[in-house]
Amino acid sequence: MKIALMGQPNSGKSTIFNHVAGYKAVTSNFPGKTVKYEISKFKLFGQVSELVDLPGTYSLTSFDLAELEARKYLLNNNIDVVVNVLDASLLSRSLELTLQLLELKLPMVICLNMIDEAERKGIRIDIEKLSEILGVPVVPAVAVKGKGVKELFSVANQIGNEKKSGKVLKFSKDVEDVVIQLTRQIEQKEHEKKSNIPIRFLALKYLENDNFFIKNLEISDKKVLKNVEHFQNLLKESHGRHSDVVISSERHHLSMNIYESVVLLEKPHKSFIDYLDNVLMHPFLGYIFLGLIFYLFFNLVFSVGKMVEEPLLDYFYRLIPLMEKSIDPGTLSFSIISGIIQGLAGGIAIVLPYLFPFLFGLAILEDLGYLPRIAFLLDAFLHKIGLHGKAIIPFMLGYGCTVPAIMATRILESERDRFIASVLATMIPCAARMTIIFALVAFYISPQAALAVYILNIIVIIISGKVMSSLLPEVTPGMILEIPAYHIPSIKVALAKTWLRMKEFIFVAWPLLVVGSTVLSLLKYFKTDILINQFFSPVTLLLGLPIVVGTTLVFGILRKELSMLMLIQALGTNNVISVMSATQIMTFTIFIIFYIPCVATIAVLWKEIGSKRTMFTIVFTFLIALFLGTVTRFVY
């Protein structure tokens, strides 16, 4: 059985998905974070079934990439049953998508999620009546707590077997007449073509002037196109608005009518969380709290990281001399073993202590729903670099990892915005680079210096943004962003999310780290590192860094955190400050932050913005890094 989760952004599809599939999809309290779909196989009543978590879409009209993707998937993949997830506290608006899904005539079940939140808001829903009106089963649920998920899938299974679709609801008479006339005309043309798209759905999309379908029509059938235009004009004349507005207003009214007939409004229960926005989005206090939250976050990461890093490093310090006693330091086996130990130590002692508190803190802020508030507060500033508030989301995610950040640029509407945001996102110090800043600059120089690195980074990003947007002048369409209600974060979910993101480091980067560190040991043993270092000597000389740093730069392209760990190994000491001056540490860090994105980032950039622009990004960031590194050398 093939089951697809479909619903508006932030309705809780990914939460349901994670319940069934184990923690695989990243959820957060921000509309539109699922930009590509996740598929998981699971057992449903003894039968292997497939569950797809589609990106959230407000409607089935092709507006942005995520929506187009979701619709394409629904139309082309022989889905047995659609689970339409609704945020019960936003019932009226959510129903607008439901009405469109019904037009697809696929077997369907409705999951009325966040029913507790709706009741808190004083919205009591007559579930039986709703089910009767729409002709599909409705299952109430609280997905975060796992309530109702079992029932949901048991009903979905039943409906999928019965292949029963719901009712298609009719519009008001004058509009309905136009729809029916157009449907008939398409029918005559379409019956010879084997199309899996229901005709009524197609007719409505034509009337809504849906880019994708209209373009198809322009190529395939000029005659139908003419008819479509005729009917569009008919609606426009009779209603005094564009035909797309007429159709969307019809759906809107239909949803409102359903809402009114199934909902009983009671007095809402207000809690402190409803008053949070009075300070957090306040035009003055909001910024103070924003600064405060960032400051505390930064401090938390640093103090937890340092607390764990020091004793662990001490422990590994003592290991190497111990080993020297049993194995002769000049041998090949000593080189290999010490390489492995240093690789392991780097991961445990240097990366994980900072990575964990950072990702956990980010998860808490995400689940609380603070990210869209940041977008609101910083919109005006982002306009100054030619983007708008929503671009802050990829940037924030970029502090975790650049790869999802670049994927998240899909929430931006214009291609130009996506390009600029992608390039800028590569410059944001991801968690890997954060560990470099913390473990080198904060640890050996001072926490203030580390903060200064972050501030410098932001300034450089602003300038680069300004330069890029003046080279590519275009007025951004402006921000239209839903600000969802706050949710009290669940520690369990936040931990699961942190684990999901850390897994990437533990299972992909860490083994690479151990291998890389061993390779470096071997290079040194066979003295080949000298060649690589010589090759990079123009760069290291310019930056005034020790020549042995050259090899570490190569590793840095593989994974950013590798370059630091390799640095420690290349220098042959755990106490970096004894061989490098503060200036050199600073220069190295600045250079590493900006220069060439890591391999994984290059791959995703290639896919999202194309080869030429990826090459541009590589050259652009390298030049910035070289320039800033040289300046740091002489100024700091």
List interacting residues with another protein (CB under 8 A): 58-59, 61, 63, 89-90, 92-93, 96, 121, 208-209, 211, 241-242, 244-245, 248-249, 252, 277, 281-284, 372, 375-377, 379-381, 383, 388-389, 413, 475-485
Q: Which is nearer to another protein, 93 or 189 (CB)?
A: 93
Q: Minimum Å distance from CB 485 to another protein? A: 8
**CA dist., res. 292 & res. 275, Å (int):** 19
Q: Minimum Å distance from CB 475 to another protein? A: 7
**CA dist., res. 408 & res. 420, Å (int):** 13
Q: Minimum Å distance from CB 608 to another protein? A: 20
Q: Which is nearer to another protein, 110 or 382 (CB)?
A: 382
Q: Minimum Å distance from CB 422 to another protein? A: 21
Q: Which is nearer to another protein, 170 or 241 (CB)?
A: 241
Contacts 24+ apart (CB under 8 A), 194-198: 196/75, 196/76, 197/75, 198/103, 198/104, 198/105
Q: Minimum Å distance from CB 484 to another protein? A: 8
Place of tokens 């290079």: 523
Q: Which is nearer to another protein, 80 or 413 (CB)?
A: 413
Q: Minimum Å distance from CB 72 to another protein? A: 18
Q: Which is nearer to another protein, 369 or 550 (CB)?
A: 369
Beta bridge partners of 2: 50
Q: Minimum Å distance from CB 180 to another protein? A: 23
Q: What is the DSSP string of 126-194?
A: -HHHHHHHHTS-EEE-BGGGTBTHHHHHHHHHHHHHHT-B-PPPP--HHHHHHHHHHHHHHHHHHTTS-
CA distances from 340 to 21, 436, 492, 559 (A): 35, 20, 34, 17
Q: Which is nearer to another protein, 31 or 305 (CB)?
A: 31
> Whose CA is closest to 362, among 506, 501, 458, 510?
501
**CA dist., res. 562 & res. 316, Å (int):** 18
Q: Minimum Å distance from CB 476 to another protein? A: 8
Q: Minimum Å distance from CB 219 to another protein? A: 20
**CA dist., res. 553 & res. 76, Å (int):** 46
Q: What is the DSSP string of 556-597?
A: HHH-HHHHHHHHHHHHT-S-GGGTS-HHHHHHHHHHHHHSS-
Q: What is the DSSP string of 253-301?
A: HHHHHHHHHHEEE------GGGTHHHHHT-TTHHHHHHHHHHHHHHHHH
**CA dist., res. 163 & res. 371, Å (int):** 40
Q: Minimum Å distance from CB 5 to another protein? A: 19
Question: In sequence order, what are the residues at sequence separation of 6 or more whose Cβ sits closer than 8 angstroms to the Cβ of residue 444?
Answer: 576, 577, 582, 585
Encode 84-108: b = buried (16+ Cβ within 10 Å), e = exposed. bbbbbbbbebbbbbbbbbbbbebbb
> Whose CA is closest to 362, among 332, 405, 329?
405
Q: Minimum Å distance from CB 590 to another protein? A: 30
**Length of the chain, in residues:** 636
Q: Which is nearer to another protein, 206 or 298 (CB)?
A: 206
Residue 28: other Cβ atoms inside 10 A: 26
Contact 67, 8 (CB under 8 A): no
Q: Minimum Å distance from CB 123 to another protein? A: 9
**CA dist., res. 280 & res. 515, Å (int):** 46
Q: Minimum Å distance from CB 2 to another protein? A: 27
CA distances from 519 to 330, 342, 364, 365, 499 (A): 16, 12, 38, 39, 28
**CA dist., res. 590 & res. 547, Å (int):** 17
Encode 212-227: b = buried (16+ Cβ within 10 Å), e = exposed. ebbeebeeebeebbeb
Q: Which is nearer to another protein, 481 or 582 (CB)?
A: 481
Q: Which is nearer to another protein, 469 or 569 (CB)?
A: 469
Q: Which is nearer to another protein, 479 or 502 (CB)?
A: 479
Q: Which is nearer to another protein, 27 or 89 (CB)?
A: 89
Strand order in the sheet with 108-113: 38-44, 47-53, 2-7, 81-87, 108-113, 138-140
Q: Which is nearer to another protein, 22 or 478 (CB)?
A: 478
Q: Minimum Å distance from CB 148 to another protein? A: 23
Beta bridge partners of 403: none
Q: Which is nearer to another protein, 428 or 485 (CB)?
A: 485
Q: Minimum Å distance from CB 429 to another protein? A: 26
Q: Which is nearer to another protein, 163 or 241 (CB)?
A: 241
Q: Minimum Å distance from CB 393 to another protein? A: 13
Contact 100, 251 (CB under 8 A): yes
Q: Which is nearer to another protein, 86 or 349 (CB)?
A: 86
Q: Which sign does the torsion angle of CA 541, 542, 544, 545 carry? A: negative
Q: Which is nearer to another protein, 102 or 628 (CB)?
A: 102
